Structure 1
Amino acid sequence: MAKPMDAAERRDVIEKLATALKANFLFPDIGARYAGQLRANLARAPMKASPTRPPSERR
C-alpha cells in the first residue's frame, strides 16, 4: 500500500495539476477557473491526509 502524502507533497501535486489544467484544458477560461479553485482551496484549508485503508476496508 502506498504511504499517505505529506503536506508538501500534496501542495506539489495540486500545483502541478493546476498548472496542467490551465495550460491544457480544452476551454482555457474553464481550465484557468479550475486551477484557481484548486489553489484557493489549498490556501484556505490544506487537504488532510487520506485514510490509509482502501475504501473496501472502511466499512
Structure 2
Amino acid sequence: MRQAYETASALRGWVLGTLKLATLVSQAGPANIQSRSLAQRLRAMLAPEAAKPDRDDLVYRHRP
C-alpha cells in the first residue's frame, strides 16, 4: 500500500501543481476499501455531487 500512496501522491502533486487543475477526483466502489482508504490518506473529501458512471461508486475530490 505504501507504494500506491507514494505513486498517487506524486501524481496528485503533479496534476494539481504543474497542470494547475483546480481539482482532481478519484472513484471507488463501496467495497473497495483499499482505494477508499488511499483517497482518504491523500486528504480527498467525499464529493456526492460529482458525476459518476456507476451510481454506487464513491467519488473523492482532491484539492491543492
Aligning the two structures, in what range does the TM-score lie when normalised by the shorter sequence? 0.3 to 0.5
The structure with the largest helix share of the pair is 1
Compare the two structures and name the one with the higher strand fraction. 2
TM-score (norm. length: structure 1): 0.40
- Bigger Cα Rg: 1
